Amino acid sequence: MKLKEEKELQTITGEYEKALLLFHKKSYHKADAAFKQIIETYKDSEFYSVLEIQTRVKVHYAITQAQLHPATIKLESNEDYVWEGVYQLNAGNMDKALELFNRAEKENYKDAYLYFLIATAYLKKEDTASSLRYVEKCVKKDATYKVIVYNEPDFEPLLQNQDFLNLVE
């Protein structure tokens, strides 16, 4: 490795490490600026090793851009509300998930899977009565959900609940 290449490689590596520290601290504005500066500074480098690191910088820059400017999703159909609700449910945002699920239900989206999801969200909120109400709606809509609900790990806390067992057995 030539001296010039080695020096440039050490410099970009140091700058990249500092930018990564900002990134891992979730200082996205500062990290974004640092990544952008690295990209600009080394865009015309003649060394493959430097350009390889610059490519990694571009990936992190894209991530910071996504953090700073999140994409907005336009919810149009009932399915959009259900799938966004699933995302929120998986992210641990039960209130937001229930809001989205309830919107779909109010729009006459009467689906066993939707009721299953609502029951799951209520159970995660420790609202057993509401959860059981939606388990009942779910299995009335589609009896095959008895097996699914009974074997779903999220519903394990209800395995000692006689009302639950009456619904799924």
Amino acid, single-letter form, for residue 38: I
Q: From the CA atom positions of the chain, what is the Rg in Å?
A: 25
Distance CA 104, CA 116 (A): 13
What is the structure's pLDDT at 30? 96
Q: Find out whether 47 and 54 touch, Cβ atoms under 8 Å.
A: no
Whether residue 1 is predicted with pLDDT greater than 80 in this model: the reply is no
Q: Give residue 73's pLDDT band: very low, low, confident or very high (50, 70, 90).
A: confident
Overall average pLDDT of the 98-116 stretch:
94
Residue 73 makes CB contacts below 8 A (sequence gap 6+) with 80, 84
> 8: helix, coil or strand?
helix
Which of 112, 157, 155 is CA-nearest to residue 137?
A: 112
Residue 103 makes CB contacts below 8 A (sequence gap 6+) with 81
Whether residue 154 is predicted with pLDDT greater than 80 in this model: the reply is yes
What is the structure's pLDDT at 70? 82
CATH 1.25.40.10 domain residues, the chain: 78-168
pTM (whole model) above 0.95: no
Structure tokens at 39: 């990209």
Percent of the chain with pLDDT over 70: 99
Structure tokens at 2: 């030539």
Q: Give residue 94's pLDDT band: very low, low, confident or very high (50, 70, 90).
A: very high
Report pLDDT digits (tens) over 8-22.
Answer: 999 999 999 999 999
Least confident of 4-8, 56-60, 116-120, 161-165: 4-8
CATH of domain 78-168: 1.25.40.10
What is the structure's pLDDT at 166? 95
What is the structure's pLDDT at 52? 92
